[in-house]
Copies of this chain bind each other. A is one copy, B any other.
Amino acid sequence: MYRDRIGLKSLWGKVVGAEEAALLIKDGMTVGMSGFTRSGDAKVVPMALAERASEAPMKITLLTGASLGSDIDKTLAEAKLLSRRIPFQADPVLRKAINAGEVMFVDQHLSETVEMLRSRQLPPVDVAVIEAVAITDEGGIIPTSSIGNSATFAMLAEKIIVEINIHQSLDLVGLHDVYIPTRRPHREAIPLTNPQDRIGLPYIPVDPSRIAAIVVTEKMDSFATITPPDEETNAIASHLVDFFRHEVKLGRLSTSLQPLQAGIGSIANAVLHGFIDSPFHDLKMYSEVLQDSTFELFDADKLKFASGSALSLSEPCARNFFSNVKKYKDRLVLRPQEISNHPEVIRRLGLIGINTALEADIYGNVNSTHVNGTMMMNGIGGSGDFARNCYLSVFVTKSVAKGGKISSIVPMVTHVDHCEHDVDLIVTEQGLADLRGLAPRERAKVVVENCVHPAYKDMMRDYVAEATARGGHTPHCLEKVFSWHLAAQQHGDMRKVGQVVKKAAAE
């Protein structure tokens, strides 16, 4: 039943249960697991490990592609198994442990983790646990619904555990393109000049003698929890479509635009969804994660090709895709996240990068990660790989959160993931600020007038006026620059900023 999925017969004897395979992982080890935005994650070995850890405490450093599904990060965090977690996560329980200082989280640009592993600037991977559709006749590992960092984990690890998932469709074979840059200082150019170029192998080439165990599983990927487009995300999409229409009119872009990248999450997904009713066509995507909108654009005949590192689909979209893999396969490719997010390729292709801001400030700095500059949400993910190197760097956010109590546009962000130099457009449901070629004082004007919610506009105008009167290239009143955040911390509402000042004065 599963043997037809293990081409190299000498590996048949390696099939064991998850508990036995998990024994290869020992206290203090560094483990690289497949998994990127809830897709293609190793599913049973981490669970077996967590169960063991609940009886005999142990710690590991866990590296993955990005976030995991199936409550794996939650379970591992509850089992207190994680001493260190790299490079991204999105689980509430793990997040809590990270913010409590119990798990050391190293939040990295997603293209960089394997670069650091390869140059031994991170500890070596002891064991890789990789979900696979199948193993080839030569022992090559065929990934499932994501590649992420799996290829490099497998190629570098001392031992490999393969989770053959018999519920992952064999139609996925041939979807992957595994190319790993050669080691520096003798590295060649990455020979990719078009999103649809195939430059590598459809499997991860490994020495089969390092495959130490094979576990057979049948658990589906977790579905993405995407909230559908709403009035505000539609407005954001509409502002962006208008902008691109104007760029086409000016002759800066063709009606096929430039290859699109969109970050994970509901807002970026909704923005792409908005392209269905646009005048643009023959679009291409070169992104890290392909969400429902990719398939909606395929079905609307708007999209010609999509390159990603992972699929992250809602239940209906996943059911449609996995029943019709062949229908989409010749228009899709999955790559290692090092290649989907590689600065070289991003700059060469000239991507339009659309990512989500947690908050943005009047000068164009963006916070993607930290609430009040302190509490980690998920991580920077690939947004820095794209924002720094793409043709046009767009950040989208609703102008307010928590029913208006929080403004997403603030005087100064409390944590900078994307500096003013890396942000071309900021778009909220209120409007679009085109920051290209503007000095900070000019940026502040367009951000305030176009993006800030009406409930905060006068407050922000007052702040800008006071700061500007004091002077400076990037005017700020340093003593009150975070007073909005303090109002939210102390009174639950940024609009109560007056009470923060009074409180400080009364102390």
- Residues of A with Cβ closer than 8 Å to B? 84, 86, 98-101, 104-109, 112, 115-116, 119-123, 181, 184-191, 193, 250-252, 258-259, 342-344, 347-350, 365, 370, 372-376, 380, 384, 388-389, 391-392, 412, 414-421, 424, 436-439, 441-442, 467-468, 470-476, 478-479, 481-482, 485-486, 489, 504-505, 507
Q: Which residue of chain B is the closest to A109 with respect to CB atoms? A: B421
Contact call B187/A476, Cβ cutoff below 8 A: no
Cα–Cα distance between A185 and B84 once the two chains are bound (Å)? 40
Copies of this chain assembled into the complex: 2
| A106-B439 contact in complex given A119-B391, A348-B187, C-beta closer than 8 Å | yes
Contact call B486/A479, Cβ cutoff below 8 A: yes
Contact pick for A120, options B100, B115, B250, B424, CB 8 Å: B250
Contact call B421/A419, Cβ cutoff below 8 A: no
A377: shortest Cβ distance to chain B, in Å? 9
Q: Which residue of chain B is the closest to A506 with respect to CB atoms? A: B505
Contact call B473/A374, Cβ cutoff below 8 A: yes
Contact call B478/A101, Cβ cutoff below 8 A: no
| A471-B99 contact in complex given A84-B439, A120-B251, A187-B193, C-beta closer than 8 Å | yes
A100: shortest Cβ distance to chain B, in Å? 6
Interface of A is mostly: loop
Contact call A474/B415, Cβ cutoff below 8 A: yes
Contact call B471/A374, Cβ cutoff below 8 A: yes
Chain B residues, Cβ within 8 Å of A481? 373, 482
Between A123, A258, A372, A389, the greatest number of chain B beta carbons within 10 A of the residue's beta carbon is seen for A389
Between A108, A115, A347, A420, the greatest number of chain B beta carbons within 10 A of the residue's beta carbon is seen for A347
A410: shortest Cβ distance to chain B, in Å? 12
Chain B residues, Cβ within 8 Å of A122? 436-437
Q: Which residue of chain B is the closest to A250 with respect to CB atoms? A: B120
A-B contacts, 12 of them at CB < 8 A, read A98-B473, A101-B473, A104-B438, A120-B250, A121-B424, A189-B190, A343-B389, A365-B416, A370-B472, A370-B474, A372-B476, A504-B507
Cα–Cα distance between A507 and B501 once the two chains are bound (Å)? 10
Q: Which residue of chain B is the closest to A485 with respect to CB atoms? A: B478
| A441-B121 contact in complex given A258-B184, A486-B478, C-beta closer than 8 Å | no
Contact call A374/B472, Cβ cutoff below 8 A: yes
Q: Which residue of chain B is the closest to A375 with respect to CB atoms? A: B472
Q: Which residue of chain B is the closest to A368 with respect to CB atoms? A: B419
Contact call A476/B343, Cβ cutoff below 8 A: no
A390: shortest Cβ distance to chain B, in Å? 10
Cα–Cα distance between A467 and B380 once the two chains are bound (Å)? 22
Q: Which residue of chain B is the closest to A188 with respect to CB atoms? A: B193
Q: Which residue of chain B is the closest to A191 with respect to CB atoms? A: B189
Closest 4 CB pairs of A and B: A374-B472, A189-B189, A184-B350, A416-B416
List 18 additional contacts besides A375-B472, A505-B505; criterion CB under 8 Å.
A98-B473, A99-B472, A104-B438, A104-B439, A104-B441, A105-B439, A106-B437, A112-B421, A116-B436, A185-B350, A188-B348, A342-B347, A344-B347, A374-B471, A376-B472, A419-B419, A479-B482, A479-B486
Contact call B119/A475, Cβ cutoff below 8 A: no
Chain B residues, Cβ within 8 Å of A415? 474
Chain B residues, Cβ within 8 Å of A475? 101, 374
Cα–Cα distance between A109 and B423 once the two chains are bound (Å)? 12
Chain B residues, Cβ within 8 Å of A185? 258-259, 349-350
Cα–Cα distance between A121 and B392 once the two chains are bound (Å)? 9
Chain B residues, Cβ within 8 Å of A370? 472-474
Chain B residues, Cβ within 8 Å of A424? 121
Chain B residues, Cβ within 8 Å of A101? 441, 468, 471, 473, 475
Chain B residues, Cβ within 8 Å of A442? 104
Contact call B436/A478, Cβ cutoff below 8 A: no
A290: shortest Cβ distance to chain B, in Å? 20
Chain B residues, Cβ within 8 Å of A250? 120
